[in-house]
Amino acid sequence: MNKINVRQTGVIIVMCIFANKILLMPSLMYEQTSADSIFVLITLFLLDLAMLPIFIWLKNSYPDKKFYDILKDKLGVVITKIIYLALLCFFFFKCLLVFSITYVYFKQQIYHNEFIFMALIAFLPVINHAVLCGVRTFARTIQLFFGIVIAGFIICLIISLFTPIAAPYFFVSNASQFFSSLYNHVFSFGDFIILFLIMDRIEIKKGQAKHLYFYSLFAMFLVVTLFYLFYAKYQITAFMHNNALADLLVFSVQFNAIGRLDIIAMLTIMFITLFQMEIFNYAFCDCFVNIFPLLNKNYSVVVFDVLFCILYYVFIGRYETMVTSTLFWLPYLAIVINYILPLVMVLILIIRRRGEKKNKSNL
């Protein structure tokens, strides 16, 4: 059976929480709210965390049912397909953003020139294979490398402590800047939405749901720590440093006889990016197959690759365009997916519970 356990679900959550938050976001947030960006980050994390009990409630109410079938039964086929089309766009642009940010990082740090075709040849076959093999296969792969990724992340944080740092200045932004930053960066969140799409493939035994909270809070703690150390290291020039996790190692890349330590950040970022693209590509293909049930995953993979390569010339080819889209018009889509859709599920669950109570009282 193509089922995943709670631990494998947890590592998928961690990779989604890391997505688009450990490289460019600290710099972008700093431009609006300076070090108060940490409070913006925590607020968005808390809003995301509120989606987890909704998922657990839905999973307990419909243990083996697909998310698509739940929506279809309650909202009808047309509305369900519209929702899945929005989800398809949501995950496609998430994947595009992950690739865009990481591509620019590697271009600046290693190649110093364009290597897009090499990058596409290296990434696309791997993530396509993961989609075709199924969620259980790539979840087990992420689980296998999870310890290495987390160790690399934590080592980067620890090494930054050996560089000059000082407590950042807080409470320097106003309410308008705070709420504007909340809106601008909401697209990079919605980290638990993937769980709804794969809920029928997740196996949660009694008493295991609490482990999902542990993985979630652990990943959020690491990201918040990254933000704090980044702002402590670059109190004034944080907006100039676009690769937060890697830039923590600046001024400490030579350490005794060990040599360059920035290779730790490079490998960690490479693994995280690969796993994130596998997850988002899988979500895209799952949405595609549900929207077009006559087409299988092979077609969805081809559609993804073609769209990805075409939109490279529109977005990735113009890096600023991709970032601007993330901050201004993609948040509209994110608000619908991240918050309105889970609230719809809450209404469905409340109506279902009332119906069950009414049936019991009639008996």
Per-residue confidence (pLDDT) for residue 274, from 0 to 100: 93
- pLDDT greater than 50 at residue 257: no
- pLDDT greater than 60 at residue 57: yes
Give 67-81 pLDDT, tens digit per residue: 999 999 989 999 999
Domains for the chain: give ranges and CATH numbers.
Answer: 6-362 (1.20.1740.10)
* Chain mean pLDDT for the chain: 88
Give 341-360 pLDDT, tens digit per residue: 999 899 988 887 777 677 66
Kindly give the interhelix angle for 25-33 and 175-184, rounded to the nearest 10 degrees. 150
Task: List the Cα angle 44/46/48 in 5-degree steps.
Answer: 70
Per-residue confidence (pLDDT) for residue 259, from 0 to 100: 47
Give 138-173 pLDDT, tens digit per residue: 999 999 999 999 999 999 999 888 878 888 889 999
**76, 138, 245, 276, 305 from 145: Cα distances, Å:** 41, 11, 19, 13, 25
- pLDDT greater than 70 at residue 125: yes
